Structure 1
């Protein structure tokens, strides 16, 4: 494994999953506060999955939105084209909106790696993430991604909830302020409902607003991810255990 302890910061990233729910009848997107980032479907709802990246240098990386569709309508792609920052994002589909292993590998290989090359990043890079995405264990993906210069570092699930910068910057915001986030976005966009054709602009704008560069850098440092600080990691885990 390559050493990423001393940087530079543009070699260290965190990849985070978010799950939302698409109401089959109204086509409205909803968020489950009790199960953020969890695949938790009912017969009335399908999952809409989001995978996005944040860098230790404070930069927001690319992302992907997976809709529960077999055929993607043009209106979904059109919404992405007209969104600020949308050029770094892609859309995809699966039968139930879950992120399958091939979706994850293709995202890293075909979207994340080209984005890194475009910004002249120093390879190899470290990509931290939860050891499970959409209930898929990522350990077996490490070897194939390493050949492309990406060292995938799965963080144990019980630790990733405490140490993920994206968890505390974005997921916690949705958990506490979902209604306000939708209301604020709707008010700025002609009182539109949060339907699936509006979801990509919504999620990109929310992540952009919450993941300010200074805040992202501060969280990477606070949790001891970069610069690597075992004592900071221990303090975070210990403080959360006793709360």
Structure 2
């Protein structure tokens, strides 16, 4: 029986990815790990990590609400820029442990009040576009991820699967990881829509819980009937609540 579904946009480069190419990538990665004596790491979920970036909207679309019968339009008050979002690099291992995230802000100089709202062990970065850069990823590896691995007493080497963006695969990052026992493995290019290591199991749940948490925050902070607007300084502590409630061994 056929079902009606919404078609997803797919670029020609993504559409050209063949199953045999993906299978060959898996074989190539496994062969590399075997040749270097790293394949046993795959049997230890604590040492297998995946890092990926995602955007969180400050004004996520609302969930279903009760309304009077016959009402055609239901609104919620939001910021002037309904598409404003923040990029967050989230890294976790196969056992359900979450490394401190990195939040990227679109600032030349991050306001002190905003910086103070970010949990102390999290990464905080800035770029002109608000997106990840090679310098920020390197800072994350050196100042956040590696120190966290040491504090957690996780056995080296570890495997870190990443997207093969130029902001990730750089000489400085590669050299640092080689020295510290972090094996960087870039996913097969133009195939993240098929592999989706974190999109389905982690990000989908995060985004749903984020919508609910923002809605609860708005209701909790209503002043004299006025619904508050979520500011950037409100984002880090609220995201921490969502991460703490969502990331569990069950969905990683």
- TM-score calculated relative to the size of structure 1: 0.67
Matching residue of 2:160:
127
Matching residue of 2:204:
172
Counterpart-to-counterpart distance in 2, 1:52 and 1:189: 28
Matching residue of 2:94:
56
Secondary structure of residue in 1 paired with 2:203 = helix
The answer to whether residue 48 in structure 2 is matched with residue 3 in structure 1 is: no
| Structure 2, gaps ≥5 residues long | 1-32, 62-80
Secondary structure of residue in 1 paired with 2:113 = helix
Tell me which protein shows more strand as a share of its residues: 1
RMSD: 3.0
Counterpart-to-counterpart distance in 2, 1:195 and 1:4: 45
Are the structure 2 counterparts of residues 31 and 63 from structure 1 closer, same or farther at C-alpha, using a change threshold of 3 Å?
same
Q: 1:147-180: per-residue Cα shift (whole Å, max 9, x none)? A: 1211111112443334344311343236667643
Higher Cα Rg, which structure? 2
The answer to whether residue 110 in structure 2 is matched with residue 90 in structure 1 is: no
Instruction: Report the alpha carbon displacement of residue 213 of structure 1 after superposing the two structures with TM.
Output: 2.2
Secondary structure of residue in 2 paired with 1:169 = helix
Q: 1:193-242: per-residue Cα shift (whole Å, max 9, x none)? A: 321111111222222222122221xxxxxxxxxxxxxxxxxxxxxxxxxx
Are the structure 2 counterparts of residues 61 and 157 from structure 1 closer, same or farther at C-alpha, using a change threshold of 3 Å?
same
The answer to whether residue 180 in structure 2 is matched with residue 148 in structure 1 is: yes
1:99 pairs with one of 132, 154, 162: 132
| Structure 1, gaps ≥5 residues long | 22-28, 33-42, 81-85, 217-243
Are the structure 2 counterparts of residues 188 and 61 from structure 1 closer, same or farther at C-alpha, using a change threshold of 3 Å?
farther
Contact in 1 for aligned 2:134/2:167 (Cα 8 Å): yes
- TM-score calculated relative to the size of structure 2: 0.65
Are the structure 2 counterparts of residues 187 and 148 from structure 1 closer, same or farther at C-alpha, using a change threshold of 3 Å?
farther
The answer to whether residue 174 in structure 2 is matched with residue 138 in structure 1 is: no
Aligned residues: 192
